[in-house]
Amino acid sequence: MRNVRTSVVGNIKVINTIFSSILQIGDNVSVTPVSNSLAVQRQVSSYRGNEGNLDEFPIFKRPIPEGALTERLNMNIHNETSEIHVGNIYIFGLSIASVLQIGSNKMTAPENRTKHIRQLIPGGGGAGSVTPPAPVPPVAPTPVTPPAAASDGVRIEEEKP
């Protein structure tokens, strides 16, 4: 590796690392955390536990455009000191495909894809309603006729016995 500096850190305190996040102490070549998530909010909190087929949503497959570097780049780096000093680091949370690294690397390329879906009950306030509707009796997740499938919307499968 090129001339890299040594990182010197006194204390680190991190409370949470979740959803494909990485806390690394030391050098490496590349860090590429990936997180694919479906964020589903329902008016009635009823979930089966095995829902969510990512293959059904194009957002999880489409290529991510890269910034094109059209010119040649000649970069010269001069380090006046051989160390980077940090006394204390406090981070409450590292989340979706994020990285905290104490040390050097060649490349960091985190990738996050999140698809939001909100499911409301008809007559229960409607789309424009800000306030939640009156209490709704809990609805068991029994499949009914699927709504007209939108291009990238939710496709609901009939329940298999």
Partner 1 sequence: MINLNVINKDVNINNLRIFGVGGSSVVLIGDTEVIACSSIFDTPPESLIIGPLQPLAAESGGR
Interface of this chain with partner 1, residues 96 to 115, rule: CB under 8 A: 96-115
Q: Among residue numbers 58 through 77, which ones bind partner 1 (CB under 8 A)?
A: 59, 62, 64, 66-67, 71-77
Residue 101 Cβ vs partner 1, minimum distance, rounded to whole Å: 5
**Contact predicate 135/57, CB 8 Å:** no
Q: Is 135 a binder of partner 1 (CB under 8 A)? A: no
Q: Is 132 a binder of partner 1 (CB under 8 A)? A: no
Phi, psi of 85 (to 5 degrees): -110, 130
Give the separation between CA 161 and CA 157, rounded to whole angstroms: 12
Give the separation between CA 157 and CA 139, rounded to whole angstroms: 18
- Determine which residue in the list 90, 130, 134, 137 makes contact with partner 1, applying CB under 8 A: 90
Residue 27 Cβ vs partner 1, minimum distance, rounded to whole Å: 7
- Other beta carbons within 10 angstroms of residue 150's beta carbon come to 8
- Determine which residue in the list 92, 134, 135, 137 makes contact with partner 1, applying CB under 8 A: 92
Q: Among residue numbers 24 through 43, which ones bind partner 1 (CB under 8 A)?
A: 27, 33, 35, 38, 40, 42-43
Q: Is 89 a binder of partner 1 (CB under 8 A)? A: yes
Q: Is 156 a binder of partner 1 (CB under 8 A)? A: yes
Looking at the DSSP assignment, which residues form a beta bridge with residue 14? 91
Residue 29 Cβ vs partner 1, minimum distance, rounded to whole Å: 10
Q: Is 144 a binder of partner 1 (CB under 8 A)? A: yes
Residue 85 Cβ vs partner 1, minimum distance, rounded to whole Å: 5
Give the separation between CA 64 and CA 56, rounded to whole angstroms: 18
Give the separation between CA 110 and CA 129, rounded to whole angstroms: 37
Specify the DSSP class assigned to residue 132.
-
Q: Is 48 a binder of partner 1 (CB under 8 A)? A: yes
Give the separation between CA 118 and CA 41, rounded to whole angstroms: 5
